[in-house]
Amino acid sequence: MAKVKCAWFDFASCEGCQVELTNLGSTFLALLEHVELVEFREVMSEKTTGKIDIAFIEGSLTRETDEKRLMEIRERSNIVVAYGSCSVTGGINALKNHLEEDEFKKLVYAKDKDMRHLDSRMAKPISSVIKVDYDIPGCPISRDEFLRIVYQLVHQSEKIYTPSYPVCVECKLRETICRYEANDHCMGMVSLAGCGAPCPADGIPCEACRGLVRDSNQKSLEKVLINKGNLSERWAKDKSRMFTANFREEK
């Protein structure tokens, strides 16, 4: 069987999801027996202008020029995978979306804010511009989930499965004590699972880095955060902006 041609591309992101690949150890070599890396700027100088079987795209879109580049990648890729939360939902970059453009620029670049090269708009997921075939969410991605999805893609599985239930399910499965029992707060009940719930197990709240489950109830979440998590009203309102601001109504 011919190797599957894979490429990695990045937009506004920390590139941590790409770095995660280098942490696979010998599994990485096993992966290379099935997959040919044709472009991966962070670790390769080789580039391609040809057809790509699977394009993994990290990062969110913040500039008009990003959109042209992304569409060009889409055109020559058979499958496009949004790789990591920045690409799937806008991720942490979207935390600035509730501020006016002028406001966040002024906060960072002060009097120089209007210099042309500092252009930046709302951070958007790549699905706002192109058709995305599959998502691998997470900040960072889960290496196990990545391997499973690549395995399924390489073997052309009929259905690529990713969970739609909340993180609470995974905490129960691994018998993690609920953060609310530890006098903390948590967003696990509205957060998309698939990560294996490492954060509550490590003693910190889930902050929905993978995004929210379908039909999550923001109003109820706020109520629980206030009544059970002892968060102030202001904090409870803002809590879900951490990684999921894109899902909020824009003011």
Partner 1 sequence: MSEKNVHIKVNHVTRVEGHGNIVVDINNGSIEKCEWQVPEAPRFFEAMVVGRHYSEVARITSRICGICSIGHTIASVKATEDALGIEVSKQTKLLRRITKLGETFDSHILHIYFLIAPDLLNVQSVFPLVETHKEVVTRALRLKKLGSQWAGLISGRSTHPTKIIPGGLSALPKESDLAQLKKSILESLPDVEETAKLLLDLVPNLPEFNRETEYVGLVDDYEYGFYDGKIGSILPNGDRDSIELNEYKSVANEWVSPLSTAKYTKHKMESYMVGALARININFEMLHPKAKEMAMKLNFTLPCYNPYFNSVAQFIECVHSAYTTVDYIDQLLESGIKQENLVLPTKFGKGVGAADVPRGILFHEYIYDKEGFCTMGNCIIPTNQNHANIQLDMEKLVPEMLKDDLTEKQMELKLEMLVRSYDPCISCSTHYLKVKFKK
Contact between 248 and partner 1 by CB under 8 A: the answer reads no
Binding mask 179-218 for partner 1 (x = CB under 8 A): -------------------xx--xxx--x-----------
Least CB distance to partner 1 at residue 159 (A): 29
Contact between 176 and partner 1 by CB under 8 A: the answer reads no
Is 202 within 8 Å of 242 (Cβ atoms)?
A: no
Task: Report the amino acid identity of residue 32.
Answer: L
Of 133 and 238, nearer to partner 1 (C-beta) is: 238
φ and ψ of 78, to 5 deg: -75, -50
Nearest to 198 by CA among 135, 125, 145, 162: 145
Contact between 37 and partner 1 by CB under 8 A: the answer reads yes
Contact between 67 and partner 1 by CB under 8 A: the answer reads no
Sheet strands side by side (includes 52-58): 35-40, 4-10, 52-58, 77-83, 134-136
Binding mask 129-168 for partner 1 (x = CB under 8 A): ----------xx----------------------------
108-124 burial by CB neighbour count: b if 16+ within 10 A, else e?
A: eeeeeeeeeeeeeebbb
Contact between 177 and partner 1 by CB under 8 A: the answer reads no
Contact between 232 and partner 1 by CB under 8 A: the answer reads yes
Residues 68-127 that bind partner 1 (CB under 8 A): 91-93, 95-96, 99, 103-105, 107-110, 112, 115, 117-118, 120, 123
Contact between 251 and partner 1 by CB under 8 A: the answer reads no
Among 34, 196, 235, 247, binds partner 1 (CB under 8 A): 235
Of 95 and 213, nearer to partner 1 (C-beta) is: 95
Report which secondary-structure segment, H or E, holds 225: helix 218-227
Nearest to 171 by CA among 150, 147, 189: 189
- Residue pointed to by tokens 């190797």: 3
> CA–CA separation, 89 vs 126, rounded Å?
8
Strand partners, 7: 39, 55
> CA–CA separation, 137 vs 133, rounded Å?
13
Q: What is the DSSP letter of 200?
A: H
Of 18 and 77, nearer to partner 1 (C-beta) is: 18
Nearest to 167 by CA among 140, 198, 137: 198
Least CB distance to partner 1 at residue 165 (A): 22
- Residue pointed to by tokens 């490492």: 198
Of 37 and 160, nearer to partner 1 (C-beta) is: 37
Residues near partner 1 (CB under 8 A) are: 11-20, 22-26, 28-29, 32, 37, 40-47, 62-63, 66, 91-93, 95-96, 99, 103-105, 107-110, 112, 115, 117-118, 120, 123, 139-140, 198-199, 202-204, 207, 232, 234-235, 238, 242
